[in-house]
């Protein structure tokens, strides 16, 4: 089917919530994808940080194949081993408490918000301006962006957004605050790292008032920044974190991971989801986690990220480069990021995305080779020349 025909079908039958780029992707392997006419592209976006180990990583494919032939779903009315093993591993590799599984980043944040309210009944949630936590009502209520919130008012009561500064957060948190929800690096907002002093202030304020500090690591987690979790590089340990995107190696899964203090807050009947933590996706996630936890891979992500940022910063036409590990954002001199991304697909067969009028975001596979990284920067350079 031609792209044009597919676009017509999409327009006729799919509710138009997405502004899709004009490319049909039919196959992927590692850092490369192919379109319907067999053209090859270098993928620096990984389905928005989902296929973070590259497309069709053999260990993940094998785990899915094996599990698909054995048991795909049983429901949470029963015990299944992969999800429970995944919870053990996630907890051991992070905050040491317990895990609630769900199916997406927004759902992971919903679970975190319910946990915080369950812990402090009626409590307020503080989030920061420019953050993104998802599109469901609770997550949207914490996503302080007028354009996303306004059409769906009234939102969930008891949410307050403040500037991402130490003073603003310390002033906003009080004894009635259930949680501070914050991304260590704002992703959708344009790859803006939150300064450690701001996260430290949030930690202090939460400790002072008995509030839960929750890090949204949906985008920053699973090795994206060069440690398994971004909080490891901040010196601040949250009371809980949320993860999704790369967790399933390409399949949909999300999780709320608590530290010990909040591990028993949610009780039987408080929350649930039919698909959550099912054996198929849990096997994929176990395989993804196993590959991602390799210290050599994480060290490479840190080194390669630094090198790519330095090389991009040296290109003419780039105003600013931000990020950590292989979470990279850069601002184009004079804006036009959406047009730049379109041109990159057509001219350079390079996949990236724009998070705003000026900002281009790269979320390449953590397995990107040196040659692929050099090739990517060369292609970006050609476009800017």
Q: Which residues are catalytic?
A: 132, 216, 245
**Which range in 16-24, 63-71, 132-140, 329-337 contacts ligand PLP by CB under 6 A?**
132-140
| Pick 249 or 318: Cβ nearer ligand PLP | 249
Give least dist CB 142 to ligand PLP, A. Answer: 9
CA distances from 383 to 42, 168, 368, 370, 372 (A): 15, 40, 21, 20, 17
- Separation between Cα atoms, residue 385 and residue 382, nearest integer Å: 5
Give least dist CB 50 to ligand PLP, A. Answer: 9
Give least dist CB 115 to ligand PLP, A. Answer: 16
CA distances from 179 to 171, 175, 203, 297 (A): 14, 10, 11, 33
Closest by CA position to 258, among listed 112, 129, 48: 112
Binding residues for ligand PLP, how many (CB under 6 A)? Answer: 14
SS3 373: helix
Show contacts with ligand PLP in window 68-107 (CB under 6 A): 104-106
- Separation between Cα atoms, residue 45 and residue 344, nearest integer Å: 12
| Pick 188 or 311: Cβ nearer ligand PLP | 188
Give least dist CB 56 to ligand PLP, A. Answer: 20
Identified binder of ligand PLP from the candidate list 110, 216, 239, 331, rule CB under 6 A: 216
- Whether the CB-CB separation of 246 and 52 falls below 8 Å is answered with yes
Identified binder of ligand PLP from the candidate list 55, 57, 117, 133, rule CB under 6 A: 133
- Whether the CB-CB separation of 228 and 222 falls below 8 Å is answered with yes
| Pick 219 or 234: Cβ nearer ligand PLP | 219
- Asked if 140 interacts with ligand PLP (CB under 6 A), we say no
- Whether the CB-CB separation of 72 and 280 falls below 8 Å is answered with yes
Region for residue 202 given its phi and psi (left: phi exceeds 0; alpha: psi -120 to 50; beta: otherwise): alpha
| Pick 219 or 367: Cβ nearer ligand PLP | 219
Identified binder of ligand PLP from the candidate list 119, 188, 239, 372, rule CB under 6 A: 188
Q: How far is CA 141 from the centre of its chain?
A: 18
| Pick 132 or 340: Cβ nearer ligand PLP | 132
**Residues in contact with ligand PLP by the rule CB under 6 A:** 104-106, 109, 132-134, 183, 187-188, 216, 218-219, 244
């Amino acid at each position: 089917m031609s792209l044009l025909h597919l676009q017509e079908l999409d327009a006729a039958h799919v509710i138009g919530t997405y502004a899709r780029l004009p490319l049909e992707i039919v196959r992927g392997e590692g850092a490369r994808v192919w379109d319907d006419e067999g053209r090859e592209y270098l993928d620096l976006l990984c389905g928005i940080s989902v296929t973070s180990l590259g497309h069709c990583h053999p260990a993940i494919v094998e785990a899915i194949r094996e599990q698909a032939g054995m048991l795909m779903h049983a429901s949470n009315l029963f015990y299944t081993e992969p999800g429970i093993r995944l919870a053990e591993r996630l907890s051991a590799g992070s905050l040491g408490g317990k895990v609630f599984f769900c199916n997406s980043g927004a759902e992971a944040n919903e679970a975190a918000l319910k946990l915080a309210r369950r812990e402090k009944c009626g409590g307020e949630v503080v989030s920061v301006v420019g953050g993104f936590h998802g599109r469901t009502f609770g997550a949207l209520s914490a996503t302080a962006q007028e354009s996303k919130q306004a059409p769906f008012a009234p939102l969930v009561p008891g949410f307050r957004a403040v500037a991402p500064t130490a003073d603003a957060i310390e002033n906003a948190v009080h004894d009635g605050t259930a949680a501070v929800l914050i991304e260590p690096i704002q992703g959708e907002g344009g790859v803006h790292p939150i300064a450690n002093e701001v996260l430290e202030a949030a930690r202090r304020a939460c400790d002072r008032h008995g509030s839960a500090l929750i890090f949204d690591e949906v985008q920053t987690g699973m090795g994206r920044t060069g440690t398994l979790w971004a909080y490891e590089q901040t010196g601040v340990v949250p009371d809980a974190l949320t993860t999704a995107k790369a967790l399933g190696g390409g399949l949909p899964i999300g999780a709320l991971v608590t530290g010990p203090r909040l591990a028993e807050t949610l009780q039987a009947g408080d929350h649930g989801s039919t698909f959550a933590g099912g054996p198929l996706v849990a096997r994929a996630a176990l395989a993804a986690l196993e590959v991602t936890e390799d210290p050599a891979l994480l060290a490479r992500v840190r080194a390669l990220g630094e090198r790519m940022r330095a090389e991009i910063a040296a290109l003419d036409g780039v105003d600013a480069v931000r990020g950590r590990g292989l979470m990279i954002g850069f601002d184009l001199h004079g804006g036009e990021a959406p047009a730049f991304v379109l041109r990159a697909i057509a001219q350079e067969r390079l996949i990236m995305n724009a998070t705003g009028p000026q900002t281009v975001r790269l979320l390449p596979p953590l397995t990107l080779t040196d040659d692929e990284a050099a090739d990517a920067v060369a292609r970006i350079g050609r476009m800017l020349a």
